[in-house]
């Protein structure tokens, strides 16, 4: 088999140690293999770098094991060509599993050019990713805490959520604060309602009658405090993300592209359903250099927004979407759900057309795929989104639609004549 990289190394990375197999040309066609074990402290990683440089190693490959690969990648990326490889793609022969054999197997595959590296962005973008992913985790934690608050209120038979659309709105928070303070008079609690909620005071008086005991008073106080802390943390992380976007720049760009990451976010929020946070997640996950992905289809496949390929005996075994970037996928699905609720937009029209035939879940994934394709084009061309309108699909084949509708009306016994409106 042809040798692609003569001086290379395979790393088997763990939390406390790294096994490295250094491969260099030997006598004849047999390479020289040297295996050493290194620790994962910074000084040990620097020693690993020196050990590789001494032998003239040019390429290094490692598995994407949890987060243990990150410090190794950070310290070696400036000196070697690194390949971060999906562990599923380099499984060795069953029954022959050991750390030493693993690093040897990775080195052999790399030597013959049989490894395909995963997409690893530049360090600045990786740092931005960590911030957006941490914020997503905080938002999910906040949702979980709100659900716990709702369960506590239900346990006390306080049916506030049945009347107020948001149990953390201004009116609801004042009512909860009064409950914590020991107020039990439902009429007095209902009078704390503000704005439109005052129209529902009779319902509130019924909903706020319950058995709110001491332990529930304590739980609600703790849960509200936790939610406020999470709100502060989310706001702080969002501020840091905005600062990062404003400072990230690309060398060699023109004056108007000094901060292309921030500019990409501004372009993405013009898409229906895409808010500021979603746009920041998209930019953090895929970056602004679309040359990394040969086409929008490749990007959609990497994100896991295309049907999987499972075929045996000439038959398709289901079409579930393939695995991909879960952070990007979840953000796009949320944006698709928001877009489906908009009025008079192309994405909303696409959702309703597909939901009627394929179901709501498949329609949402299809719209998420469309949003990602649009984002690819907008970032690549650096232009804002142009709304096609909710009638795009009807106007695309207007004559066929008219014939179909006329045919349906005539089958009901009507005589139909179409007359065009004169242009204003």
Per-residue pLDDT of the chain (424 residues; tens, 9 = 90+): 788 888 999 998 988 999 999 999 887 778 889 999 999 899 999 999 999 999 899 999 988 878 888 999 999 988 999 999 887 777 765 556 677 888 888 888 888 888 888 888 888 889 999 999 999 999 999 999 999 999 999 999 999 999 988 899 999 999 999 999 988 889 999 999 988 899 999 999 999 998 999 999 999 999 999 999 999 999 999 999 999 998 876 544 444 446 788 899 999 999 999 999 999 999 999 999 898 899 999 999 999 988 776 666 667 666 777 788 899 999 999 999 999 999 989 999 999 999 998 899 999 999 999 999 999 999 999 999 999 988 888 888 888 888 888 899 888 888 888 888 776 5
Query: How confident is the model at residue 95, as a pLDDT?
Result: 55
Query: How confident is the model at residue 252, as a pLDDT?
Result: 42
Q: Which of 209, 244, 279 is the last residue of a domain?
A: 244
Instruction: Choose among 54, 46, 49: nearest CA to 82.
Output: 49
Instruction: Choose among 167, 158, 164: nearest CA to 196.
Output: 164
Q: How many CB atoms lie within 10 A of CB 202?
A: 10
Residue 416 lies in a domain: no
Instruction: Choose among 301, 260, 238, 235: nearest CA to 122.
Output: 260
**Residues 31-45 as b or e (16 or more Cβ within 10 Å = b):** bebebeebebeeeeb
Query: How confident is the model at residue 309, as a pLDDT?
Result: 67
Residue 96 lies in a domain: yes
Residue 162 lies in a domain: yes
- How much of the chain is helix, strand and coil, in % rounded to 5? 55, 10, 35
Question: Alpha-carbon distance 94 to 151, whole Å?
Answer: 48
257 shares its domain with 163: no
End-to-end CA distance of the chain: give it in Å, rounded.
73
Q: Which of 244, 268, 287 is the last residue of a domain?
A: 244
Query: How confident is the model at residue 256, as a pLDDT?
Result: 47
Residue 394 lies in a domain: no
Residue 117: alpha-carbon gap to chain centroid: 21
Instruction: Choose among 372, 360, 380, 275: nearest CA to 325.
Output: 372
Backbone phi and psi for residue 359, each to the nearest 5 degrees, phi listed first: 100, 160
- Name the domain count of the chain: 3
Residue 7: alpha-carbon gap to chain centroid: 37
| SS3 state at 34 | strand
Residue 418 lies in a domain: no
Backbone phi and psi for residue 59, each to the nearest 5 degrees, phi listed first: -125, 135
Instruction: Name residue, tokens 């084009």.
Output: 377
Question: Alpha-carbon distance 237 to 277, whole Å?
Answer: 11
The domain in which residue 344 lies consists of 253-308+321-381
Q: Which of 44, 76, 111 is the last residue of a domain?
A: 111
- Kindly tell me the sign of the dihedral angle through the C-alpha atoms of 63, 64, 68, 73: positive
**Burial of 181 by CB count in 10 Å (0-12 exposed, 13-18 middle, 19+ buried)?**
exposed
Query: How confident is the model at residue 118, as a pLDDT?
Result: 85
Cβ-proximal residues to 82 (8 Å cutoff; 6+ apart), any chain: 59, 60, 61, 62, 73, 76, 117, 120
21 shares its domain with 94: yes
Instruction: Choose among 370, 372, 388, 392: nearest CA to 380.
Output: 372
Contact 131, 241 (CB under 8 A): yes
265 shares its domain with 225: no
Residue 340 lies in a domain: yes
Backbone phi and psi for residue 265, each to the nearest 5 degrees, phi listed first: -65, -45
Residue 405 lies in a domain: no
Helix axes 360-381, 346-358, angle to 10 degrees: 150
């Amino acid at each position: 088999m042809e040798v692609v990289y003569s001086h290379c190394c395979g790393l088997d990375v763990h939390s406390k140690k790294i096994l490295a197999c250094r491969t260099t040309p030997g006598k004849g066609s047999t390479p020289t293999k040297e295996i050493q074990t290194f620790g994962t402290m910074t000084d040990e990683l620097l020693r690993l770098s020196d050990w590789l440089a001494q032998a003239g190693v040019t390429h290094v490959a490692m598995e994407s094991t949890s987060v243990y690969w990150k410090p190794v990648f950070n310290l070696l990326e400036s000196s070697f060509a690194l390949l971060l490889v999906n562990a599923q793609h380099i499984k060795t022969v069953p029954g022959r599993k050991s750390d030493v054999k693993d690093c040897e197997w990775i080195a052999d595959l790399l030597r013959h050019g049989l490894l395909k590296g995963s997409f690893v962005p530049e360090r600045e973008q990786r740092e931005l990713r960590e911030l957006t992913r941490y914020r997503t985790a905080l938002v999910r934690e906040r949702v979980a805490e709100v659900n716990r608050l709702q369960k506590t209120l239900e346990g006390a038979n306080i049916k506030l959520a049945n009347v107020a659309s948001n149990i953390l709105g201004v009116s609801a928070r004042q009512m909860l604060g009064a409950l914590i303070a020991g107020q039990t008079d439902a009429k007095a609690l209902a009078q704390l309602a503000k704005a439109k909620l005052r129209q529902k005071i009779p319902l509130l008086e019924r909903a706020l009658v319950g058995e709110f005991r001491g332990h529930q008073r304590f739980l609600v106080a703790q849960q509200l405090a936790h939610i406020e802390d999470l709100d502060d943390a989310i706001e702080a992380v969002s501020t840091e993300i905005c600062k990062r976007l404003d400072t990230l720049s690309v060398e060699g760009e023109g004056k108007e592209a000094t901060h292309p990451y921030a500019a990409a976010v501004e372009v993405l929020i013009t898409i229906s359903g895409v808010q500021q946070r979603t746009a920041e997640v998209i930019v953090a996950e895929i970056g602004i250099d679309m040359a990394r992905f040969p086409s929008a289809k490749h990007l959609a496949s990497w994100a896991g927004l295309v049907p999987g390929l499972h075929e045996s005996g000439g038959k398709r075994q289901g079409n579930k979407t393939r695995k991909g970037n879960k952070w990007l996928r979840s953000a796009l699905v949320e944006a698709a759900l928001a877009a489906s609720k908009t009025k008079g937009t192309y994405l909303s029209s696409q959702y309703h057309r597909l939901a009627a035939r394929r179901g709501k879940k498949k329609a949402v994934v299809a719209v998420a795929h469309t949003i990602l394709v649009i984002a690819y084009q907008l970032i690549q061309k650096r232009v804002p989104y142009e709304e096609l309108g909710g009638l795009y699909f009807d106007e695309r084949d207007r004559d066929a639609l008219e014939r179909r509708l006329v045919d349906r009306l005539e089958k009901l016994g009507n005589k139909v004549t179409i007359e065009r409106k004169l242009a204003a």
